């Protein structure tokens, strides 16, 4: 102290520690990796890269973009689909550098996607989809691993609600939707299993029911509980007697229980005597006395 004044001597800042340097480097790397997050992609995915398709050597944001473009070609011989596992090269969406498949750009250091599957060559910045890779399916699914199980007989992942609660049809998912004919196994649309065990898109199923079609397009079995409808038909048929010349039996096959039998001909329907279903069809001309 001098002349009643305090003098403070400036101290040099403390030397950075090794831990502080490491944390600063991590923060810098994380910041660089997040550049452009959710800003790049297409109508199908948010991602910061594009794929070079080995089949045609062209660049597309995702396999769906490729397949949409190639399926629209006028020459049927040129139409083809991209096999996701065959992709070897991609292009960074931020710095436009082409490189081998990886999770982070070798040039600018950004992540190509918050979710990255090396097996499927799949990238997506939107983690709200809760993507996961199923080893048994061999592809990535969405919706959270804990919400799905893999049915080995059906050959696909299904909601846990269907565990021990569905009729298995071998490799049912490795077929085309009977309504829109899109291949079900790797479709991005939701699917549902009908009572008969066959599978179709949920939106196609909903539209089918909306159009008052209650039978599976594949096996013709009823997909809903039709008991109340059959009861109404009982009442209508009882109240609508056929003319004398049409009162004869016809051979029928029941689509629901696969039984054959006979029923009196009626324009409203023919009832199966085994399961009471009207989901039947005539398999002969009947015994018309005339």
SS3 for 163?
coil
H or E, element range at 260: strand 260-264
pLDDT for the residue 2: 44
pLDDT for the residue 30: 72
Rounded to 5°, the CA angle 247-250-256 comes to 125
pLDDT for the residue 286: 62
What distance in Å separates the CA atoms of residue 279 and residue 214, rounded to the nearest whole number?
A: 9
Mean pLDDT by 10 residues, the chain (290 residues): 46 57 55 93 96 96 95 94 94 97 96 96 96 94 93 89 87 90 87 90 95 94 94 94 91 95 94 95 70
H or E, element range at 159: strand 156-159
The conformation of residue 184, written as its DSSP 8-state character, comes to S
Write the CA distances from 79 to 24, 55, 109, 136, 238, integer angstroms: 51, 11, 36, 29, 57
HSE-CB at 226 with a 13 A cutoff on CA atoms is 22
What distance in Å separates the CA atoms of residue 152 and residue 241, rounded to the nearest whole number?
A: 51
Report yes or no: 197 and 168 within 8 Å, Cβ to Cβ: yes
pLDDT for the residue 188: 80
Burial (CB count <10 Å: 0-12, 13-18, 19+), residue 75: exposed
Q: Which two tokens stand for residue 217?
A: 């397009």
pLDDT for the residue 3: 46
**For residue 93, which of 41, 54, 57 has the smallest C-alpha distance?**
41
Report yes or no: 32 and 110 within 8 Å, Cβ to Cβ: yes
Q: Which two tokens stand for residue 112?
A: 């190509």
pLDDT for the residue 21: 52
- When computed from its CA atoms, the radius of gyration of the chain, rounded to whole angstroms, is 32
Neighbours of 197 (CB within 10 A): 18
pLDDT for the residue 288: 52
């Amino acid at each position: 102290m001098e002349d009643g004044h305090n003098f403070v001597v400036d101290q040099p800042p403390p030397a950075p520690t090794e831990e502080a340097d490491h944390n600063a480097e991590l923060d810098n790397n994380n910041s660089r990796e997040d550049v452009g997050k959710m800003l790049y992609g297409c109508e199908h995915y948010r991602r910061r890269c594009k794929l070079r398709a080995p089949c045609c050597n062209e660049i597309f944001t995702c396999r769906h973009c490729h397949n949409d473009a190639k399926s629209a070609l006028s020459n049927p011989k040129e139409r083809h689909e991209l096999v996701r596992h065959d992709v070897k090269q991609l292009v960074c969406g931020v710095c436009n550098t082409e490189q081998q498949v990886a999770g982070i750009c070798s040039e600018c250091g950004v992540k190509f996607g918050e979710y990255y599957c090396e097996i499927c060559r799949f990238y997506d910045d939107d983690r709200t989809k809760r993507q996961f890779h199923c080893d048994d399916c061999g592809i990535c699914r969405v919706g959270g691993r804990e919400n799905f199980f893999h049915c080995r007989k059906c050959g696909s992942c299904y909601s846990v609600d269907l565990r021990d609660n569905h009729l298995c049809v071998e490799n049912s998912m490795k077929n085309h939707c009977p309504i829109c004919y899109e291949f079900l196994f790797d479709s991005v649309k939701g699917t549902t299993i009908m009572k008969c065990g066959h599978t179709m898109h949920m939106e196609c199923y909903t539209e089918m029911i909306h159009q008052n079609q209650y039978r599976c397009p594949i096996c013709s079995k009823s997909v809903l509980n039709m008991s109340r409808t059959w009861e109404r038909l009982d009442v209508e048929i009882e109240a609508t007697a056929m003319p004398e010349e049409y009162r004869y039996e016809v051979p029928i096959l029941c689509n629901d229980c696969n039984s054959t039998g006979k029923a009196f001909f009626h324009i409203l329907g023919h009832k199966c005597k085994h399961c009471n279903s009207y989901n039947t069809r005539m398999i002969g001309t009947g015994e018309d006395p005339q």
